[in-house]
Amino acid sequence: MEELINKLKLEIIDALNLDGMTPEEIEDEAPLFGEGLGLDSIDALELIVLMEKNYGIKLANPADGKKIFSSVKTMAEYIAANRSK
Amino acid sequence: MKRIRVTGDSIISPLGTGSEENFLAVLGGKTALSRHEGTFGLPEPFFASLFGEEVSRDESLLVRCASDAMERAGIDPSAADVMFFFSSVKGDVDRLLYEPAENVRKHFGNPNPAVTVSNACTSGVCALVQAMRALRAGKCSKAVVVGYEFLSKFIISGFQSFKALSPEACRPFDRDRVGLNLGEAVAAMVLEAVDATTENDWELVRGAIRNDANHISGPSRTGEGSYNCLRGVLSSGIAPEEIAFLNVHGTATPYNDEMESIAIDRAGLIGVPVNALKGYFGHTMGAAGILETILSMRAVDKGLVLGVRGFENLGVSRPVNISSAKRETGKKAFVKLLSGFGGINAALLCAKGGNSYLPEDPFEGSLELEAEARVDSSEGPLGDLYRALGDPYPKFFKMDPLSKLGYIAVERLLSKTGRSFELREDRAVILFSTKGCVCDDNNYKKTIEDSSEYFPSPALFVYTLPNIVGGEISIRNLYKGETSAYVVPERDEDMIMETVREAFSDPETASAIVGWVECASETDFTAQVKLIKRKF
């Protein structure tokens, strides 16, 4: 899980153009939206693309993203349980 | 004071050819929305209103539609006092946005420059507003306004990536609405500047364009820009009781319809009947403002408020006066309302002639240049120029190259004038280019071209709209005035300054950031922006 979390942080920084940010600066359990990283609705849609592209997970209902993307840790757990690549 | 009379109109849509045929189809409750599978090479099915295979999605359709409208108006398109205005969100995604417009203008032998207004989904109303201003300023005596949108893998995949599409026919304002349907159409109106109108005429009275300065894709939760637009057209002196209906955007996305209900309530118009036509045609983007205005004029002429196809149970927080069935009205005016990506909103008041509603006065004062700034690719890459500003704005790195360029240029401009981040409703942002979003178009295409690597990016898609750069500048600086994006065949400073002068006919506009913002690629760009103020 540790390894997946670190890989995911790098992928998030890249996909969302979080310039100058390092994986160390993203806490595993800090909220991704609102407070924390301050991501917005377009970022949420990009995270859906990221999961499909890198892990073969298709999220039909974007509303499900809210729970999955609450932190890097919850996102990693969801990916570990549902990935097809 | 010149009044703006409508002298001809036409619609070509999947529901029919000509305004009358389209109106009768809507009256009969018909829809062109249907499910499409495998169309445009899209891997996922979608629900949309598409032209049949016999229709070529190009200038020939624009020419046909404009010809029909001009024949009804009885005008000669090659005359020097006629100007063409176009509205489209994406035009033809494989060419520059000004090209179809330029070809139509040339086809008709018209000698004047043709601008394409690309203000996302409000483009149609914005082009009408632009034409009204040119007519009132005396730049032309007749105007042909053509709105169009053709669908493609590009546009549909983009909206799919936004999870904005409904898998069935859309349900505007309904509690079970889940998204919009896209549609194709061409619509044209011919306008004329006259000294007086009669009760048989249709008149475009007053328009307003306002930015939410909130988010580049999400509608304002307080209905900010739409409310300000409604306020703008109400300054004509029309009373709510005199309005037959508000023909709103009603895309049937959860957020849009809710936002509109809030704006209508805030503007004191909650008792006025509301309708939306997306259930018949889908969202026809660049054509919507013109198509929906034409059908609303016909409806008033027949004493009707058209019913909202797809609506059953009210699903917004305010008690909007809406019905799925057509209703009777004896009133002689309506308001067309639209909103779109980039935080843009637009409204237009249309009324039968002989009314006493106040139009915008043409701007006759003088303007002064307060400051000017330039950016050029010879100075280095955009990222370096941003860092040299020394003022971190993390969102910069999420922007497309065109928005980055506009951002840097305006930061430089404002560093010369001193700045405050106080909300301003009186500052417009008016930008011109020839290349529009060509750089972003190419980046987005890379995400959809290869079927084994098909991952359409919502962030890249939204930035393929030429007005997003203006939206980013408005968000950064809290500007809630007009934002407009024009795509033109060549850089013509006189034409730019005329257009800017006309924009000052909006009484709310006290100053404007005006710019030429041209981005061919990450390493080939140039911008020149000016801060221009009304001189008192």
CB contact under 8 A, B217 and A49: no
pLDDT tens figures, B432-465: 999 999 999 999 999 999 989 999 999 999 999 9
As a whole number of angstroms, the distance between CA A5 and CA A69 comes to 13
Distance from CA of B521 to the nearest CA of A (A): 18
| pLDDT (mean) for B307-323 | 98
As a whole number of angstroms, the distance between CA B146 and CA B287 comes to 8
CB contact under 8 A, A41 and B459: no
Which residues of chain B make contact with A45, given a CB cutoff of 8 A? Answer: 161-163, 458-459
CB contact under 8 A, B458 and A46: yes
CB contact under 8 A, A45 and B458: yes
CB contact under 8 A, B217 and A43: no
Average pLDDT, chain B: 97
Whether B255 contacts chain A with CB within 8 A: no
pLDDT tens figures, B70-84: 999 999 999 999 999
Which residues of chain B make contact with A46, given a CB cutoff of 8 A? Answer: 457-459
CB contact under 8 A, A45 and B396: no
| pLDDT (mean) for B112-140 | 97
CB contact under 8 A, B162 and A45: yes
pLDDT value at position A20?
81
Does residue B126 carry a pLDDT above 80?
yes
Return the residue of B nearest to A49 by Cα.
B455
Distance from CA of B46 to the nearest CA of A (A): 14
pLDDT tens figures, B186-200: 999 999 999 999 999
Distance from CA of A47 to the nearest CA of B (A): 10
Distance from CA of A74 to the nearest CA of B (A): 22
pTM above 0.95, yes or no: yes
CB contact under 8 A, B459 and A43: yes
Which residues of chain A make contact with B455, given a CB cutoff of 8 A? Answer: 49, 52-53
Closest CA to B242 of B125, B379, B349: B349
Burial of A82 (0-12, 13-18, 19+ CB in 10 A): middle
Buried b (16+ CB within 10 A) or exposed e, B291-328: bbbbbbbbbbeeebbbbbbbbeebbbebebbbebebbe
Which residues of chain A make contact with B215, given a CB cutoff of 8 A? Answer: 40-41
CB contact under 8 A, B459 and A40: no
CB contact under 8 A, B396 and A19: yes
Terminal C-alpha separation, chain B: 22
Q: Interface of chain A against chain B, CB under 8 Å? A: 16-19, 40-43, 45-46, 48-49, 52-53, 62
CB contact under 8 A, B459 and A45: yes
Collect contacts of B32-36 with beta carbons under 8 A, ≥24 apart. Answer: B32/B183, B32/B280, B32/B281, B32/B282, B33/B169, B33/B170, B33/B181, B33/B183, B33/B279, B33/B280, B33/B282
pLDDT tens figures, B382-434: 999 999 999 999 899 999 999 999 999 999 999 999 888 889 999 999 999 99
pLDDT tens figures, B286-310: 999 999 999 999 999 999 999 999 9
CB contact under 8 A, B458 and A42: yes
Size of interface A-B (CB pairs under 8 A): 38
pLDDT tens figures, B15-71: 999 999 999 999 999 999 999 999 999 999 999 999 999 999 999 999 999 999 999
Does residue B250 carry a pLDDT above 80?
yes
Q: For a pLDDT cut of 90, what percent of chain B falls above it?
A: 97
Report, as ranges of residue numbers, the positions in chain A whose pLDDT lies below 70: none
Which residues of chain A make contact with B459, given a CB cutoff of 8 A? Answer: 16, 42-43, 45-46
Closest by Cβ to B455, choosing from A18, A40, A53:
A53
Tell me which residues of chain B, numbers 441 to 460, contact chain A at a CB-CB cutoff of 8 Å: 455-459
Q: 3-class SS at B527? A: strand
The torsion angles phi and psi of B18, rounded to 5 degrees, stand at 95, 150
Q: Which secondary structure element, helix H or strand E, spans residue B367, and what is its range?
A: strand B366-376
As a whole number of angstroms, the distance between CA A44 and CA A35 comes to 14
